[in-house]
Structure 1
Amino acid sequence: MEAFSAVNATQEVVHLPPPDNDYDPNASVIRPVLPTPVFEGVNFPEDPIKLLSVQVVLILAYSTIIVLGVLGNSLVIYVIYRFRTLRTVTNFFIANLAVADLLVNTLCLPFTLVYTLQGEWKFGRTLCFLLPYAQGLAVHVSTVTLNVIALDRHRCIVYHLDTRMRKDVCFGVIAWTWVLSAVLASPLAIFREYGSFTLEPGYTIQVCTEKWPGKSTDGTVYSISMLILQYFLPLSIISFAYARIWSKLRGHVSPAESGGGSSSAGSERHRRRRKTTKMLVTMVVVFAVSWLPFHAFQLATDIDSTVLDMRDFRLLYTIFHVIAMCSTFANPLLYGWMNRNYRAAFLAVFKRNENVYDSDSFCR
């Protein structure tokens, strides 16, 4: 997932007094984490998100994504656990991807929706530190896992390695993705502040913001760095790997075509690999297209701070965020559509059938 952190989006710059109210006007600026009201120079009634019709649409959109994401990703994890024929290395990586998407569905979207609608952090100090970290962690895990899947396929197909990665090595790689992601997401928990902001006399709201110790540009530097690490670099690696895989598969000559033996087995393996590679490439394309508008908007905000002054800034941010979050439920739909194994497993769950034929093995 998130070649960016959904919780690290640049928002309106505000000055937040520390809890003891010993406010230093020269203190570095900090930015709210999730969509929040623009605190300076904005006529709140003009904010489109305040409109009831817009709020209803947002509630329906987020609720649909949450329900589909939770059901779909839970089903993927369950069938891999239940059916022995699905317990392959690539499927374990896919299950890891589903866990990360499930984490986004449960820990990101509900809180983002409430924060967007109310414009105030009402979840307390502890969740102010934990939720952004969990969200950033899930995004990194999704991105790293997509890279691992692509590189594992590259290893199998381009270099003709017929032996699968051992399962203990697979689990070690999965553990490594979580450790690496935890390190990369750690600034989201370390550089954070929870406090109050007075909009007008007698009207104070709670906000959860980034708090960088150095220059005011530190947050922007981190944001752009994460954009590169979570989106552009991973997609470059994945694109290179699948381009080589596709070139290898297109240039493949089956035993039937060369007059060799075992033509049926060789052709079937080649067919499986082409179908599976198509599915995995489609997963990456959906991920990239879903996140592209959000990342473009994020990059524009980092480069030009006047974007923050737009009247529809929060609405645009939220629309792009909804589009990005669609990627969290898209994968289970792709599995059911493009992979016969998953389609059979999904149907077997509802029909209570224990037999799933291993027809689309990944790396043999």
Structure 2
Amino acid sequence: MDYLSRQHLPRCIPSLLGAGLHGNDLYPGYHASTPVSRTPQRKSHRRPPVSLRRHPLLDLGDLGGPGGLILAYSTIILLGVVGNSLVIYVVYRFKTLRTVTNFFIANLAVADLLVNTLCLPFTLVYTLLGEWKFGQVLCFLLPYAQGLAVHVSTVTLNVIALDRHRCIVYHLETRMRKDVCFGVIAATWVLSALLASPLAIFREYGTFNLAPGQPIQVCTEKWPGSSTDGTVYSISMLLLQYVLPLAIISFAYARIWSKLRSHMSPAGRNDRHRRRRKTTKMLVTVVGVFAVSWLPFHAFQLATDIDSSVLDMRDFRLLYTLFHVVAMCSTFANPLLYGWMNSNYRTAFTTVFRCDQRMDSVHPEGGRGKGGRGKLDLEAQDVVTNHLNATDL
């Protein structure tokens, strides 16, 4: 979605609309419904920024200069691409990890990987240049792909929570069939594609003249009718993409936790019960990181929608960039949490990195490794078996 437009769905590419320039008559107001090839005639609180290197609202020194931005985004991209690719690979590689929950986790990793590859690199370039350099086709495709990926992440977190709620609270021990699981995953992408479709439909690409002889390429949202249409969509997406999903997830995990606590014996119940508790803790932590990472970004966007004077803050771009970086950290946090909180993933990750040693520690087919060793013993509460039920990882 547009970076500085008034849209709440986490957006990754900055819009050329939204940053007010104090006391500078060189940059007239620009309205989203105005054709970008013409100089707008009426004032608006949304104005096109110039390159951050000469933008009065943000001194790059506040962010450590261009080098600081490049380091921050590059670190997130590197960790996200490596971590999420590793999650996808181990779920594909090792048969013992091919459970319903892990398929959903792999789907979440795919969405995060798309954010890392289709979002952050373009955000970084745009932030440094202050101009859309990627052409007309990408103007329509990239915001849509980015909105799609973020929606998939949120919907998948809901699906995981509801599936575990179904299994644990209602004692449905039969695992979801793989064809049903893949059907649910496909449905998450279809639903997300529909929710993100306005980002590709209501868009405009063209040239905006900052001053005579100073044209820049712009890629903006263009909503039909009232200028409030974008705000209505923005608030709707805030509710559908953040508030409502977190409410559903919180309700599901609260009931799961209550159920597990009520069935907890002094001896700690059995291995399956402990696995369920640990898995639930890990997934709750994943949701918590997602919620906390995106909260400042959403709160700042909501404040912008409620009070447009926020756009005139001297540190608007600085705060927005910082909140965006924090939100993007959620894309690489999940693989770290899996490796830290779950022995199955930790063992699988170690096996991949030590590909010439103990490849039989997690068998892709559940058999014996090339070296003839049996499966390595893992922690009792996280042992990998070929009989994991629907609620185990």
Q: TM-score, normalised by structure 2?
A: 0.82
Which residue in 2 is equivalent to 1:354?
Answer: 360
Contact (CA 8 Å) 1:198, 1:205: kept in 2 or not?
yes
CA distance in 2, matches of 1:237, 1:92: 21
Contact (CA 8 Å) 2:104, 2:160: kept in 1 or not?
yes
Aligned CA distance change for structure 1 residues 295 and 165 (closer, same or farther; 3 Å): same
Contact (CA 8 Å) 2:205, 2:218: kept in 1 or not?
yes
351-360 or 121-130, which moves further after superposition?
Answer: 351-360
Once the two structures are superposed, residues 168-187 of structure 1 have per-residue CA deviations (whole angstroms, 9 ceiling, x without a partner) of 10000000000000000000
More helix by percentage: 1
CA distance in 1, matches of 2:344, 2:177: 21
Q: Secondary structure at the match of 2:206?
A: strand
Contact (CA 8 Å) 1:31, 1:211: kept in 2 or not?
no
CA distance in 1, matches of 2:174, 2:208: 59
CA distance in 1, matches of 2:283, 2:350: 21
Q: Please state if 1:248 is matched with 2:253.
A: no
1:149-298 matches, within 5 Å, as: 149-254=160-265, 267-298=270-301
How much does 1:52 deviate?
8.6
Contact (CA 8 Å) 2:304, 2:310: kept in 1 or not?
yes
Once the two structures are aligned, what percentage of the paired residues are identical? 74
Root-mean-square deviation (CA, aligned residues, Å) is 2.6
210-219 or 306-315, which moves further after superposition?
Answer: 306-315
AA in 1 matched with 2:290: F
Contact (CA 8 Å) 1:50, 1:117: kept in 2 or not?
no
Once the two structures are superposed, residues 228-278 of structure 1 have per-residue CA deviations (whole angstroms, 9 ceiling, x without a partner) of 111110000000000000000010045x86xxxxxx9x6111100000000
1:14 to 16, 30, 33: 30
CA distance in 1, matches of 2:167, 2:209: 59
Contact (CA 8 Å) 2:223, 2:229: kept in 1 or not?
yes
How much does 1:47 deviate?
2.8
How much does 1:49 deviate?
3.1
CA distance in 2, matches of 1:351, 1:102: 23
CA distance in 1, matches of 2:256, 2:326: 29
Q: Secondary structure at the match of 1:206?
A: strand
Gap runs ≥5 in structure 1: 258-263
Q: Secondary structure at the match of 2:207?
A: strand
Contact (CA 8 Å) 1:31, 1:210: kept in 2 or not?
no
Contact (CA 8 Å) 1:128, 1:208: kept in 2 or not?
yes
CA distance in 2, matches of 1:190, 1:156: 40
Aligned CA distance change for structure 1 residues 30 and 150 (closer, same or farther; 3 Å): farther
How much does 1:55 deviate?
1.6
AA in 2 matched with 1:270: H
Which residue in 2 is equivalent to 1:260?
Answer: none
Aligned CA distance change for structure 1 residues 313 and 240 (closer, same or farther; 3 Å): same
CA distance in 2, matches of 1:47, 1:97: 34
CA distance in 2, matches of 1:146, 1:288: 11
Q: Please state if 1:310 is matched with 2:313.
A: yes
How much does 1:56 deviate?
1.2
Aligned CA distance change for structure 1 residues 20 and 279 (closer, same or farther; 3 Å): closer
Which residue in 1 is equivalent to 2:110?
Answer: 99
Contact (CA 8 Å) 2:126, 2:132: kept in 1 or not?
yes
Aligned CA distance change for structure 1 residues 4 and 359 (closer, same or farther; 3 Å): farther
Which residue in 2 is equivalent to 1:4?
Answer: 9
Contact (CA 8 Å) 2:88, 2:109: kept in 1 or not?
yes
Which residue in 2 is equivalent to 1:335?
Answer: 338
Q: Secondary structure at the match of 1:207?
A: strand
Gap runs ≥5 in structure 2: 1-6, 20-28, 363-374, 376-381
How much does 1:48 deviate?
1.3
CA distance in 1, matches of 2:227, 2:346: 51
CA distance in 2, matches of 1:47, 1:30: 18
CA distance in 2, matches of 1:224, 1:168: 35
Contact (CA 8 Å) 2:63, 2:69: kept in 1 or not?
no
